[in-house]
Amino acid sequence: MGVVRITRANTRWPAVGAWPLALGILWTVLVGVSVLLKPAGSEATLCVFRNVTGLPCPTCGSTRAALSAVQGRPLDAIAFNPFVTVAGALSIGWLAMRVGFRRRIEINLAPRQRTLVWVVIAALLGANWVYVILGNT
């Protein structure tokens, strides 16, 4: 059976690999540049998937969702991309627990439970993609 525990962390800052950190910084820079340089009314997008296929990717709308959340409009953020908004809120909560309170969330699952969790996450991401494709962003 799965166990969730909150324990004291050895360090306040979580170890982050170079690739996730570099991708996060790159994404932040690209979003900042696109927001600053985008002409009013322009439909240009940074999404390579959308530029190639014409279809939105599962995370399309995440930049607008993040901007809406930062501007204090959580319902707009959810409307742009529910999966990314919830995942972002959970990530911020996790980081606040780690940095603010020096606590670590441990989730110990049996192999079958871990597989089930990944299947549920994939199903939620798929449902989110259908939502995005149907034009709600």
8: left (phi over 0), alpha (psi -120 to 50) or beta: beta
pTM, to two decimals: 0.71
User: Residue 15: which domain range?
Assistant: 3-136
Give 36-81 pLDDT, tens digit per residue.
766 666 666 667 778 788 888 888 888 889 889 888 999 999 999 9
Total structural domains within the chain: 1
Q: Which helix (H) or strand (E) holds 98?
A: helix 82-101
Q: Is 137 exposed, middle or buried (0-12, 13-18, 19+ CB in 10 A)?
A: middle
